[in-house]
Structure 1
């Protein structure tokens, strides 16, 4: 990692531990003896400063998940109703698991590939399951970044008008353009309104609203008004994606421009590993409709839907990047006594703020579009995944410096996406050289190899039927598998390793809580212990079962209207493979470890106890579950 400095002197480590450690007479200190080296710290390195760590974690967590994915998931799950389970999940799932992973990485100075094996050898596959999950995520994440890069190139080359007008070769008679209608009005008397239909400006009668007149015009021409699409949406599907509805006959037809953008994104990511819309949107006519839908008009019936809670939980995990090993990897480079609790609070607040902020911006623009089209908010855009690529260009088209505003927005999205992608690639590399220490001198080669693997896995998503594959990866990469990994993670730490052992490790790093508030809500307090032991395992189990049942019983359909995608059975099987593989790492590694111990004559119970590489092994006390299992085996 480029942001860490190697510590070469064990004497410096001892001095730092002695000066920073909070004294506790009831618990012995762990001090590196003179002349001995902490090989993990020496080889892995450490952050230069707290600020570097916080900014990197925020850059990892705050990304496309907030600006692109959060509004789209909220759009598909009832707007304001989605915010309630999202907030509840943030407090009961997101923050506790974030603290768990930061504490684990910092305590063990290990990435996910080796951290779980140190505390519970049988669960060493848990880390590799997380790395596998993050690899699948990075595959389709890179495709979204390539879409953004495509827009940046289009804007730089002066093609903004192609995105927001209806006079292009790919546009249909159902195209709706705010820009074209403003041109009609500007070329005539200012007090007369027009709609733009079939390359013609039609005057709106004084006793009619634009939306009603538009609907009548389409019906008079034997056209279905529900098929009306904004120019930006037609550009997204018909020009950039060149989306085809027949998967089999178009899967090998490349979309060369998008393919080149996808390749460029990976080149940029590898190189990096190596060495005003908010306020303007609120001023638009009809923006209040979108704000009410998003913040003030919750459909409380959605709260009774497991689908909404599942969407909130998976979006939160996706956004905070918990359960995929990235935060754990970054925390493993911290000083042993770094206050990660404050960092966790900052990350959760920044992530939540940016999610709500991005949602307000998008929904204010959707409200404006809904009023112009005479449609409900949930009918304006056909698919949530295209939301940001439609709403922002439409808003920018009404500004004086539309190209500049659009360009700045997509550059921001690009930087957010690349920062997250770089961290995911680094997490994969960290896992490999933590597991195989001989590879540490080949970090650059590992990063390049990781990029090549995910590049090959995702390049078909840039083809004309690529949206089918994209939706499969989007659906299954962070679904029941991610929730299952998080549930198993909490069970491993709290029941098998022992919540008291884990709390002791935290207190060794941060000291004992000094007041009642920290005793309850601190990182080693009762609240987080309750969440990790009870709430998170139960919540993830229920939502995982729901997701599995819903996926089995329901046809996988995405989008609507002319751009609907129905996933064929063969691709559904691919989705199940993507979903199950991370979990197979966990159970496969556990079974392998048990068999090896049986063959070698070692006690099976040893696979549930920390190994010799755990720095606090001499303080370990077997928890209730392990003691009872040991008693049962001895009988």
Structure 2
């Protein structure tokens, strides 16, 4: 049986913008019928949907699972404009059974799992940190992760356009885009560092092993010389440490970064990093130019190959002398640290950072699913894979650091360095002491490169999908050109971060613009908008309609109360325990740099109340207060194309 075509006695604008019904709009029916039919099947599920004259959603259960509609009579179709002029260009769907899962792995499993999680776990009491991490995992990471994926699949829209179902929160979508923009701007710079080290690893003698290079000065000591001094208990060791730098540190600062002494001294451009960054952006472009749904081989490779490398490195690390010592330091519980608020702050922010919520990428990836794809299963699996990857990376890193502590006669606490230092300072020194060092160094930095590139590609997809949905006839229709222009813009933005002061600017952008309280602020309002504006009950019902899963009502409670409360508490923790950025020497960044950092944070935060105010004062200025309140509370009834679920929907509308 073929489904009957939808008949709507009012114009398309009534669907999209929630305008009042136009009683004289019958004449629009035949002219817009083909476009309406296109929207009637927009969810990806082959089913027929109609709206009655009262504006309520109806569907025929006999039409479920069937594609297409009856052809229009010839006298009606004769007046219809060509379909190509009315339909949006195809946004693409995942074709393989595991494409979506692999894309989430490629996105969410990234650099933060490899260097940030192990360091924070060690810094905050090992096993105690894991306990706190597990709490935030259950209260925030899993619920918000599943919420973003579900809403993306259900509405088939990116981070900005999905808020047409509740327009007052559209600023959240803009905030998602701003945060993604800032993160994308510097990610390829980190990738360029990793590629630089990977290329340097092919040398017979690593360039960071010796002090006879042109970038070394009289303060340089090799790792072996430093270890020998420690072993002999050299007098005035503390003063020696202040007056010297290891060859690894000088390679990082004087060769790779060619770093100035402060953010105020730009210096020149590091041309090698600029060329590598350009190459990185070419890879990102060619991975996306036909759409991420067509880049299956790239997605699968980037999702799976890092696990092969991690397992190889883990096997090698566990066979090294001192591996047990390193793992003990990694996991040894310190129960007293549970009372330390810093532990809770670090664990909470790491959860949000490592799971990639709030960037809009998960919404975009979910929007490419077919309507009845089991996104709940994939998202749930992905949440545990992400956590397990972080723990696995910790075993890899600390088994190797345990070996280094034995060789260098140092405590592990003196070897571990925060942030990028763990990857670009500690590991090169470790690699210098491994048998077949070129192989292990190349594998490690290849893994860092792949983890950075796959996260970059998926974040770029999230950003570009949001922009495409806003301007489909321009960006999606001319995807290759618009994507090339976008990549070139980001490449130009990244140029200051490959100058001699680039690392300082990258840290500023990362600390203020793409993480911390800016991300938590946006996530808080995203959860509020989805769980209260859209409705947590509707999300639960959406999963039942798409997948047939009848979730416990406990999920509604978590979405409406636990997840937003967790986000709010962490946001205030970040404000209360704020510390200005510091140079590696321990000195504070200049005041103007921290002020500029707050400006970067405000870019993603201010758009949320700003757009809400704009919507209230200008978009609906013709409405009375009561009508405006009704518009805000019942917005979803006025945008049925983006909200198939209605409270008065018949009970036979599918499972």
**What's the TM-score, normalizing by structure 2?**
0.78
Give the equivalent residue in structure 2 for 1:17. Answer: 46
Q: Does 2:226 match 1:211?
A: no
Give the equivalent residue in structure 1 for 2:477. Answer: 441
**8 Å Cα contact 2:164-2:642 kept in structure 1:** no
Give the equivalent residue in structure 2 for 1:620. Answer: 646
Q: Counterparts of 1:577 and 1:501 in 2: how far apart (Å)? A: 36
Give the equivalent residue in structure 2 for 1:163. Answer: 208
Seen in structure 2, the aligned counterparts of structure 1 residues 616 and 425 have a Cα distance that, compared at 3 Å, is closer
Give the equivalent residue in structure 1 for 2:298. Answer: none
SS of 2:636's partner is: coil
**8 Å Cα contact 2:113-2:389 kept in structure 1:** yes
Q: Does 2:268 match 1:240?
A: no
Q: How far 1:303 moved relative to its partner?
A: 2.7
Q: Does 2:471 match 1:426?
A: no
Seen in structure 2, the aligned counterparts of structure 1 residues 15 and 374 have a Cα distance that, compared at 3 Å, is closer
Q: How far 1:93 moved relative to its partner?
A: 0.9
Q: How far 1:487 moved relative to its partner?
A: 1.4
Q: Counterparts of 1:14 and 1:542 in 2: how far apart (Å)? A: 36
For 1:108-123, list aligned pairs within 5 A: 108-118=155-165, 120-123=166-169
Give the equivalent residue in structure 2 for 1:607. Answer: 632
For 1:109-133, what per-residue CA distance to the aligned partner results, in whole angstroms no more than 9, with x for missing partners?
Answer: 1011111222x11111211110110
**8 Å Cα contact 1:73-1:384 kept in structure 2:** no
Q: How far 1:564 moved relative to its partner?
A: 4.1
For 1:344-381, what per-residue CA distance to the aligned partner results, in whole angstroms no more than 9, with x for missing partners?
Answer: 12211221122111111112222233344444323224
Q: How far 1:83 moved relative to its partner?
A: 2.2
Q: Counterparts of 1:614 and 1:481 in 2: how far apart (Å)? A: 32
Q: How far 1:73 moved relative to its partner?
A: 3.6
Q: Does 2:295 match 1:273?
A: no
For 1:71-97, what per-residue CA distance to the aligned partner results, in whole angstroms no more than 9, with x for missing partners?
Answer: 344354444433222222122211111
For 1:286-343, what per-residue CA distance to the aligned partner results, in whole angstroms no more than 9, with x for missing partners?
Answer: 33222111112x3334333333222222222222211110010010011111101111
Q: Does 2:604 match 1:582?
A: yes
Seen in structure 2, the aligned counterparts of structure 1 residues 444 and 73 have a Cα distance that, compared at 3 Å, is farther
**8 Å Cα contact 1:245-1:564 kept in structure 2:** no
Give the equivalent residue in structure 2 for 1:595. Answer: 617
Give the equivalent residue in structure 2 for 1:186. Answer: none
Q: How far 1:618 moved relative to its partner?
A: 6.3
Seen in structure 2, the aligned counterparts of structure 1 residues 263 and 619 have a Cα distance that, compared at 3 Å, is closer
**8 Å Cα contact 1:281-1:395 kept in structure 2:** no
**8 Å Cα contact 1:155-1:407 kept in structure 2:** yes
**8 Å Cα contact 2:263-2:505 kept in structure 1:** no
What's the RMSD between the two structures over aligned residues?
Answer: 3.2
SS of 1:224's partner is: helix
Seen in structure 2, the aligned counterparts of structure 1 residues 228 and 527 have a Cα distance that, compared at 3 Å, is farther
**8 Å Cα contact 2:221-2:245 kept in structure 1:** yes
Give the equivalent residue in structure 2 for 1:456. Answer: 492
Give the equivalent residue in structure 2 for 1:525. Answer: 552
**8 Å Cα contact 1:211-1:372 kept in structure 2:** no
**8 Å Cα contact 1:10-1:34 kept in structure 2:** no
Q: Structure 1 residues 307-316 or 328-337, which shifts more?
A: 307-316
Give the equivalent residue in structure 2 for 1:498. Answer: 535
Q: Counterparts of 1:510 and 1:35 in 2: how far apart (Å)? A: 27
Q: Does 2:299 match 1:263?
A: no
SS of 2:434's partner is: coil
For 1:538-560, what per-residue CA distance to the aligned partner results, in whole angstroms no more than 9, with x for missing partners?
Answer: 11111111212332xx332253x
Q: Does 2:330 match 1:308?
A: no
Seen in structure 2, the aligned counterparts of structure 1 residues 11 and 438 have a Cα distance that, compared at 3 Å, is closer
Q: How far 1:490 moved relative to its partner?
A: 1.5
For 1:249-300, what per-residue CA distance to the aligned partner results, in whole angstroms no more than 9, with x for missing partners?
Answer: x21422222222222222222222224221222233333222111112x333
Q: Does 2:171 match 1:149?
A: no
Q: Counterparts of 1:312 and 1:154 in 2: how far apart (Å)? A: 34
Give the equivalent residue in structure 2 for 1:408. Answer: 443
**8 Å Cα contact 2:417-2:425 kept in structure 1:** no
Seen in structure 2, the aligned counterparts of structure 1 residues 496 and 15 have a Cα distance that, compared at 3 Å, is closer
**8 Å Cα contact 2:122-2:331 kept in structure 1:** no
For 1:447-472, what per-residue CA distance to the aligned partner results, in whole angstroms no more than 9, with x for missing partners?
Answer: 22322332233221111222221111
Q: Structure 1 residues 322-331 or 31-40, which shifts more?
A: 31-40
Give the equivalent residue in structure 2 for 1:293. Answer: 329
Seen in structure 2, the aligned counterparts of structure 1 residues 15 and 474 have a Cα distance that, compared at 3 Å, is closer
Q: Structure 1 residues 269-278 or 47-56, which shifts more?
A: 269-278
Seen in structure 2, the aligned counterparts of structure 1 residues 64 and 565 have a Cα distance that, compared at 3 Å, is farther
Of the three residues 126, 129, 139, the one matched with 2:175 is: 129
**8 Å Cα contact 1:46-1:334 kept in structure 2:** yes
Give the equivalent residue in structure 2 for 1:103. Answer: 150
Q: Counterparts of 2:377 and 2:447 in 1: how far apart (Å)? A: 26
**8 Å Cα contact 1:174-1:229 kept in structure 2:** yes
Give the equivalent residue in structure 2 for 1:206. Answer: none
Q: Does 2:567 match 1:548?
A: no
Seen in structure 2, the aligned counterparts of structure 1 residues 16 and 107 have a Cα distance that, compared at 3 Å, is closer
**8 Å Cα contact 1:75-1:384 kept in structure 2:** no
Q: How far 1:498 moved relative to its partner?
A: 2.1
Q: Counterparts of 1:16 and 1:288 in 2: how far apart (Å)? A: 53
Q: How far 1:230 moved relative to its partner?
A: 4.7
Q: How far 1:475 moved relative to its partner?
A: 1.0
Q: Does 2:432 match 1:397?
A: yes
For 1:333-352, list aligned pairs within 5 A: 333-352=368-387
**What's the TM-score, normalizing by structure 1?**
0.81
**8 Å Cα contact 2:175-2:605 kept in structure 1:** yes
SS of 1:247's partner is: coil
Q: How far 1:50 moved relative to its partner?
A: 2.4
- Aligned pairs, how many? 561
**8 Å Cα contact 2:210-2:222 kept in structure 1:** yes
Q: How far 1:105 moved relative to its partner?
A: 0.4
Give the equivalent residue in structure 1 for 2:306. Answer: none
Q: How far 1:58 moved relative to its partner?
A: 0.8
SS of 1:468's partner is: helix
**8 Å Cα contact 1:154-1:160 kept in structure 2:** no
Give the equivalent residue in structure 1 for 2:402. Answer: 367
Q: Counterparts of 1:328 and 1:365 in 2: how far apart (Å)? A: 37
Gap regions ≥5 residues in structure 1: 1-7, 20-25, 182-195, 203-209, 514-523, 623-635
Q: Counterparts of 2:289 and 2:592 in 1: how far apart (Å)? A: 38
Gap regions ≥5 residues in structure 2: 1-36, 49-57, 72-82, 291-311, 649-655
SS of 2:321's partner is: coil
